[in-house]
Chain A
């Protein structure tokens, strides 16, 4: 299995809803990432997990709450989002962080619309 699987593919949620995005990989990668991508822009890094521990939080608002229950699974819990949070949310994984030349595997993303 050489894929990163993201679910759901599309999500529409109201500003008062609570929802979760899920990301799964079975490649034994020990680093996992959440990115946010607005239309026609490069992805912006949100969070990095290394060995199931949060190592990087790029000043993301608390309405986004990441969770890494095990080495294969990464969740992003969403609560009280704003319409400007509508974007493509991408998950990625790599063998590990660190100054090594490990490639990244990206998921197909969750298209989130906040209404």
Chain B
């Protein structure tokens, strides 16, 4: 079992829909990252969380440390949101290494 599990693996939705991507982890963490990667492209850091909730534009990220679970929400989704969304955690005993989820491929159809 991977230490960081994401669901779903693939998600196709219509423009305007509310999107939720989930991330569960099994290790103690100092931080959780949500990242975005467009096909063939570099990685953009969306959020870094250690507790609570963060919002940036149409994106919202939440984390529940007790349940070892985080969610990324996209409101009013748009075709330009189509990308792979990756959850990665930094373990409590690591000062540099990220443990990566497998990513969720999101396609938003117009």
Chain B residue with Cβ nearest A44: B100
B53 to chain A, nearest CB (A): 16
Q: Which of A64-72, A73-81, A101-109 contacts B (4 or more CB under 8 A)?
A: A101-109
Whether A43 contacts B48 by the Cβ 8 Å rule is no
CB contacts between A and B, total, < 8 Å:
52
Interface residues of A (CB under 8 A from B): 6, 31, 33, 42-43, 45, 48, 55-56, 88, 90, 92, 97-101, 103-109, 111
CA–CA, A33 and B42, complex, Å: 14
Interface size class of B (residues with CB under 8 A): 20 to 34
A55 to chain B, nearest CB (A): 7
CA–CA, A90 and B31, complex, Å: 21
B94 to chain A, nearest CB (A): 8
Whether B102 contacts A42 by the Cβ 8 Å rule is yes
CA–CA, A42 and B33, complex, Å: 13
Chain A residue with Cβ nearest B2: A42
Could you say which residues of chain A place their CB within 8 Å of the CB of B57? none
Q: Which 7 A-B pairs have the closest CB atoms?
A: A108-B42, A42-B100, A106-B43, A103-B48, A101-B31, A109-B42, A97-B96
Residue B45 is within 8 A (CB to CB) of chain A in the complex: yes
CA–CA, A88 and B40, complex, Å: 8
Could you say which residues of chain A place their CB within 8 Å of the CB of B110? none
Chain B residue with Cβ nearest A109: B42
Could you say which residues of chain B place their CB within 8 Å of the CB of A48? 96
Option from A42, A56, A105, A108 in Cβ contact (under 8 Å) with B103: A42
Whether A107 contacts B96 by the Cβ 8 Å rule is no
